[in-house]
Amino acid sequence: MQLHPVDIFIIISYLAAVVVVGWLISKRASKDLDAYFLGSRSLPWYVIGTSHGASGFDITGTMFFVTMLFTYGLKAAFIPWIWPLFDRVFRQVYLGAWIRRSKVLTGAEWMRTRFGSGLSGNLSHISVVVYALILTLAFLAYAFIGIGKFAEVFFQWDLSWWFLSSADVYAIIILAITTAYVLLGGWYSVVLTDLIQFALLTIASIAIAVIAIDKVGPEALSKVVPEGWNQLRFGLKLDLDWSGLIDQLNARITKDGYSWFGVVMMLMLLKGLLVSMAGPTPGYGMQHVLSTRSPREAALENWWMSIVQIFPRFLMITGVAVLGLVFFSPEVKQIISDKGEFDFEKILPYVIEGYVPVGVVGILLAGLLAAFMSTFDSTINAGAAYIVNDIYKRYINPDAQAKKYVRLGYLCSVVLVILSVVIGIARAESIHEITKLITFGLYGGYVVPNILKWHWWRFNGYGYFAGMIGGMIAAIAPVVVNPDINKVLILPFALGISTIASVVVCLRTPAESKEVLEGFYRSVRPWGFWGPVYRRLLEKYPNLKANKNFGRDAFNVAIGIVWQLTLNVIPICLVIRQFRTMWISIGVLAVTSVIMKFTWYDTLGPGAMYMSEDE
């Protein structure tokens, strides 16, 4: 594709602007670790929430969801549960407040709050650092593959060099620019550039949706999709048959393992509930929560994140999928891979190439580059924080000057980027395969020890360490032995190994000290199996109130998941013109919003959710 000079100017201007922003705030960001990695916890919840939403609006994930909507239609509104997207509802309702009360810098440092600073606490801390770095490298490699596939379609100069393809070189260039402004501005740079990126993404999303609505009517769409494609309901087995339309999609459905769609979605819901109860993984999600100004703002930040990320993103996803369905076919060579399969990951760039006017192309490409960069910058910053704060500062040099820690943060960011490039080139699987490895394998091994740490007083750091390490090995080993293994099968294996290791090791080692358990319960005040700890504290603090909000929190989570699902459904229905389902969803959105106003929002601030230590 030959870009117009106007489009090139817009893209270059955007890339220059983000680097300038990083340079302008570099002095403020380099003051100390708290400033560099959390912005001194000075930014309001709606700014953090917008940044968090932009960070989740990544180009690779967008291409994945385009594939899902293209194949499964309106039913794809449920597929974000694979991550699970509703984990932020749990943080909105109660977990965000619990996490923020710790006042630490990273998720690994949080382990001291729960398991103390002895051997068990150190082991739990190390396991989180290892997991965080593995997850960071997986996400960075995932992003590297996605941006390379995307860029080579638009920037068609042949930059291949030595063993690197043009896609690899383009990805490296974009990564270098992203790394530059992250190094300069730290967390301030991440957040402020995310605001610029969110504005571009919103414009891009609306533009794509308007183009799709203008060019594709219901009649044209109905001719190229099977019966049931535009319906939200589904049974145990998927009722879509692409025969005679795009035959390759039937094979794709089987390969994805979604033929029994209802069964898969029930498993995704169960897995999603467990993952969400475990809390955010040690990455940029945790950093956004920790960077808020108070527990109350941690809750509001996650509520706002759902709104700003989901609605505009699904406008874009649906617009691209609809244009791809109507104007492309299996015979188009550009979207058929060398193996004769439908190359879904090229639909997004080819739609923009074929149907977006000059000027708007520049805004769209800048917005999509922003989508990639907003995820990449947050991940780099979070990963470097774990190395500097949780390895170097804690175990190697705890008394270094603040400037030295910040400079080490620069070095660690560069090293993480280099490693992600190497992994991305060496393991250049499809986006969908890497997505499944992260969501089924790595998340599966994370669940059990992180649920138990919140809700069971007897769980200790030894059990946590065993569960995390066992889960990681169980997630990675099958892929090393058989790279072609179905990643979905890793979930129960990793979950089982992690559960056995957590419980057995915990019960064969001593409980944490009374001081550690009582300190954690007084500051965080979780609900769950904390009876012995609460009764001991009651002797010292007769007015101490137990957290009896489990029923209310569970109710709000259920309402919140339905509320969030409507944010997926409404933009899809708007673009494909399923107005009946859209208006029903708007009604459900309104009702659930009113309910949560009374059962959730009105509880924020002083009261049961944010009890003081003296209560």
Residue 292 dihedral angles phi and psi, to the nearest 5°:
-75, 165
Give the pLDDT score at 510. 94
Q: How much of the chain exceeds pLDDT 90, in percent?
A: 27
Q: How many residues are recorded in the chain?
A: 615
Give the pLDDT score at 111. 82
pLDDT band for 487, please (50, 70, 90 cuts): low
Query: Distance between CA 222 and CA 322 in Å, rounded?
Result: 11
- Mean pLDDT (the chain, rounded): 82
- What Cα–Cα distance (Å) separates residue 357 from each residue in 6, 219, 567? 11, 24, 28
Q: Can you give the residue ranges of every domain in the chain? A: 5-428, 429-512
> Distance between the two ends of the chain, CA-based, in angstroms?
65
The pLDDT of residue 543 is above 80: yes
Cβ-based burial of 599 (10 A; exposed 0-12, middle 13-18, buried ≥19): middle
pLDDT band for 255, please (50, 70, 90 cuts): confident
Query: Distance between CA 347 and CA 325 in Å, rounded?
Result: 9
CA-nearest of 7, 349, 334 to 150 is: 349
- Is the alpha carbon torsion for 422, 107, 311, 189 positive or negative? negative
- What Cα–Cα distance (Å) separates residue 599 from each residue in 205, 366, 596? 33, 40, 5
Q: Give the model confidence (pLDDT) of 58-103 as tens digits.
A: 666 777 888 889 999 999 999 888 778 899 999 999 999 998 887 7
Q: Which residues have CB under 8 Å from 154's CB, separation 6+?
A: 1, 3, 349, 352, 353, 365
Tell me the pTM.
Answer: 0.83
Between 182-191, 302-311, 583-592, the lowest mean confidence (pLDDT) is in 182-191
Query: Distance between CA 291 and CA 29 in Å, rounded?
Result: 14
The pLDDT of residue 348 is above 50: yes
Which tokens in the block code for residue 397?
């040099």
Give the pLDDT score at 429. 53
Q: Give the model confidence (pLDDT) of 158-174 as tens digits.
A: 777 776 778 788 888 88
Which tokens in the block code for residue 501?
């290791």
Give the pLDDT score at 568. 94
Q: Which residues have CB under 8 Å from 8's CB, separation 6+?
A: 362
Query: Distance between CA 100 and CA 41 in Å, rounded?
Result: 11
- What Cα–Cα distance (Å) separates residue 99 from each residue in 74, 228, 273, 520? 35, 43, 18, 11
Q: Give the model confidence (pLDDT) of 267-285 as tens digits.
A: 889 888 988 998 877 666 7
Task: Name the architecture of domain 5-428.
Answer: Up-down Bundle (1.20)
